[in-house]
Structure 1
């Protein structure tokens, strides 16, 4: 069921990357109208969606790889949530210093990190037959 959910999420990300950015900004940024997203960020999100969709549909090694990367990324978010701002700012915005992050972003990033770690652990356990 997780694979189907990730596949659907990948398809959604592939089809409407700009909407994904809008949702991200509505949740994470206090001043989204004052910031300019890099022109190449939408295609990058679309490419991420294609990779997620491929891994979810293919299963096997690509899916295991995706879940392992998800778990590692989740651990970073869980234990070092401020890294997210340091990475996301320059990755997403032309002027990352002008971004005013939501005051609750750190807590939200930790929760997302914990969910990613748990999903990766549950999937690993399933793959190992435990």
Structure 2
């Protein structure tokens, strides 16, 4: 079931990278209209979607690798959520200094991190046949 969900998510981000960014901004950023997303960021989102889709379609090494990376990223988000803000601003926006994050972003990032860790652990358990 998780693979199907990830596959669907990958297809959505592949087909609608700009909409994906709009949803992210609506949730995470206080002043999205005052910031310009890097012109190449949509392509990066699309590539991420393709990788997620391919990994979900193949339940092998690529999927296991993706889930391991998801768990590691989740642990970082859970325990060091402010690092996300420091890295995401310059990655996504041309002028990250003018960016105003939503006041609840840190809590949201922690929750997402916890979910990522949980999903990675559940997948590892499934792969190990427990």
Deviations 1:2-61 (A, max 9, x none): 000000000000000000000000000000000000000000000000000000001110
Listed as ranges, the matches of 1:1-130 within 5 Å are 1-130=1-130
Post-superposition Cα deviations, 1:34-92, rounded to whole Å, max 9, x if no partner, equal 00000000000000000000000011100000000000000000000000001100000
**Structure 1 length normalisation: TM-score?**
0.99
In structure 1, the residue corresponding to 2:24 is in which secondary structure?
helix
Structure 2: unaligned runs, 5 residues or longer: none
How many residues are aligned here? 130
Q: Distance in 2 between matches of 1:65 and 1:12?
A: 21
In structure 1, what is the Cα distance between the partners aligned to 2:10 and 2:97?
30
How far apart, in 2, do the equivalents of 1:78 and 1:28 lie? 16
Query: After TM superposition, which residue ranges in structure 1, 4 or more long, deviate above 3 angstroms?
Result: none
Aligned partners of 1:21, 1:76: CA distance in 2, in Å?
Answer: 22
Shift of 1:100: 0.2
Distance in 2 between the 1:107 and 1:54 partners?
31
Which residues of structure 1 form unaligned runs of 5+?
none
Q: TM-score, structure 2 length as denominator?
A: 0.99
RMSD, aligned CA = 0.3
In the alignment, the residues of structure 1 paired with residue 77 and residue 59 of structure 2 have an alpha-carbon distance, to the nearest angstrom, of 25
